A and B are shown apart, each in its own frame.
Chain A
């Protein structure tokens, strides 16, 4: 079983998001970058599925050279090899297009992504990739099992869940529940240095979207504290002032 895991390099979840250049650029000063938390889950499941030499796990990232520490981390966790498409990830369409080109040249049985990347996130790459490859895509999955040439996934729906069976290959966007993230051990960290990391140049493609600027949510006013022995006052405020009940 050959599995491809798409990984993105994102600001650590504790990052306070700020912008520079007149709010047109994300301020990366002092920001630590990590492997996208959902991609960690996808990677962990891929490693479980190929455990004991039952196939290989390739990780792919569309990014510039600064993403290599994150790629090495994925190798340390247990990926077999890695590919970096040497380009700034302009938007989801650009990323999906590059990965689709790679998959067309290097077919695999299963493509895993995270449900979304926590930076410019849009949970779009998985479905775009599915469409570009003309195979099924399913996202926000909480379980994934393979039986022969079929895959069974559980996906989240409003107020419940849905279980689907699909023929391989598919693209699946992983969320919590699919696997527990794995922490690299010493041997993994040592071997990661020598595992293959191939750099390829991007294919040319038109883009359809441009980020013009960013803004952060408007700050709220001062909190209105209600004394703990006058809870009824809160109900009155929610009804008469906030008008939400």
Chain B
């Protein structure tokens, strides 16, 4: 059963999460002694397409249709489903990104495939079964789900599978899919992307601030810390509700779920709804002046102290560490 992986790009460039899904799809192909085909849609250079081989794709289907330059959910789903049929793929893998989450269900319906979103590890395939572990209850638990259909569509959570280099030579092929006019009725009016910022769902390190920071005017030191670490910024819900920070930075059960290598929480109490969205972070550091704050119970490292004293000290300590490294 060949595996097809959709390799998402942003402005023509692949992201780390794309290489993660290719590595992950390669591992599923290996589990089944089969081949891996990648499909890329949009204007990606030949050099970048060849990079997909480095992570295990044997074949790369390249769709460079002018009408598909930008992401159109319906049309992309049709193209990927068509490619899956042409390749005879039984498993289609995507990233659980914003776009991936819009695509996977549509592809699933087209292929009459079971869909598992938010998958965090390789499938168990003993005895002809196909069982995946996925997040449930908005990060408070995991579910083991068996996909009982012949075909499967799964989307992988960013930062949950390591990029693995295999150095396969990928064969590039143009793929011309028929696109129905009715798949192209959505018109993109505007795309705003702040390219200088690390995007929160993909970030390796996240620096997050809560109500303990008192007001938006105090985010300067948080931003400085994030810049130093190459981290993305996040916040608790009351902070974005109060308009101190944009909603797009709100993490938790009703915000974005993140799973970075390092999550630094500053002035956040650690309410159950907040923890739901961040508890799968690999390492959690908590800075809070209240030693009884619930966040310390789920932290790996903590500093009990006033953020307005600790954060500036942390910034100088990191600068020193960087200067000596």
Contact = CB atoms under 8 A, between A and B. Distances in A.
A136 B103 CA distance: 11
Given A210-B145, A212-B145, A158 B199 contact: yes
A92 B105 contact: yes
B146 A226 contact: no
A237 B145 contact: no
Contact of A161 (B15, B143, B192, B253): B192
A211 B191 contact: no
Contact of B186 (A19, A165, A177): A165
Instruction: Label chain A's interface by main secondary structure.
Output: mixed
Contact of B205 (A130, A166, A245): A245
B54 interface: no
A2 interface: no
Contacts of B205: 244-245
Interface of A: 11, 13-17, 19, 26, 37-38, 92-93, 96, 116, 118-128, 130-132, 134, 136-140, 142, 152, 155-167, 175-177, 207-217, 220-221, 223-228, 231-232, 234-239, 242, 244-245
A156 B98 contact: yes
B321 A159 contact: no
A45 to B, nearest CB: 15
Nearest to A209: B114
Given A159-B199, A234-B317, A208 B113 contact: yes
Instruction: Label chain B's interface by main secondary structure.
Output: mixed
A163 B188 CA distance: 6
Nearest to A212: B144
A208 B149 contact: yes
A159 B15 CA distance: 12
A235 B318 contact: yes
Interface of B: 10, 15, 71, 73-74, 77, 97-99, 101-106, 108-110, 112-118, 131, 133-134, 136-138, 140-149, 182, 185-195, 197-202, 205, 229, 240, 247-248, 250, 253-255, 261-262, 272-273, 279-280, 282-286, 296-306, 309-310, 313-314, 317-318, 320-321
B190 A93 contact: no
Given A92-B105, A208-B115, A214-B136, 11 more contacts: A120-B137, A122-B117, A130-B74, A131-B110, A157-B191, A159-B194, A209-B145, A217-B279, A228-B304, A244-B282, A245-B229
A164 B186 contact: yes
B144 to A, nearest CB: 5
B105 A124 contact: yes
B189 A165 contact: yes
B98 A121 contact: no
Contacts of B305: 228
Given A131-B105, A137-B102, A212-B145, A118 B254 contact: yes
Given A228-B310, A238-B301, A127 B10 contact: no
Contact of A13 (B134, B193, B254): B254
Nearest to B106: A131
B104 A124 contact: yes
A122 B318 CA distance: 38
